[in-house]
Amino acid sequence: MCRTISKFVILKACLEESPMSKRDFDKLLLEAVDEGLSSLGESSKQAIYFHLKKSFNVKKQEIPFKIEAFADGIEKIFGLGANFLETIIVKSLYGKIGEVFEWHESTDLTFTEYVAKAKRSFLEKKRAKKIAEELISCEEMMIEG
């Protein structure tokens, strides 16, 4: 019976994305953005958040849901200098999710694509961990039963 249950559990875990996982990623993304902007100094960071809110309609807490608008705002504020800031943010984000950021000039990924790639990796790790926990639980039930 446990083998049937484990197949169901694996399928269910593979198909569902935990809202907690998304919130966890969003929190890490906000921390990475905050750290990246902090590299410019506290008053500059606050001024950038203010400008993003007023000129681009992107509040700090909305950045994970408006990542393209955020990137567009940063690029309009900093011009070519935005690449440097975006790289700092992405490096920080990848570190927070336990990945190593590798710049691939040949792939020519944009900031938003690197963020999307990080999110996929983060959610896949969460799903794999959940599957492993369910399998261990199932195996424990088999041993006890």
Place 140 in a pLDDT band, splitting at 50, 70 and 90.
low
* CA gap 122, 25 in Å, rounded: 7
80-121 tens-digit pLDDT: 999 999 999 999 999 999 888 877 666 678 999 999 999 998
Could you tell me which of 38, 79, 82 has the C-alpha nearest to residue 60?
A: 38
The per-residue pLDDT for 15 is: 46
- Compute φ and ψ for 18, nearest 5 degrees: -65, 130
Please give the CATH superfamily to which domain 18-126 belongs: Protein of unknown function DUF3227 (1.10.1200.200)
Q: Is the per-residue pLDDT at 135 higher than 50? A: yes
Q: What percent of the chain has pLDDT over 90?
A: 58
One-letter amino acid of 27 = K
More confident residue, 41 or 130: 41
52-65 tens-digit pLDDT: 999 999 999 999 99
pTM for the full predicted model: 0.74
Domain ranges of the chain: 18-126
One-letter amino acid of 39 = S
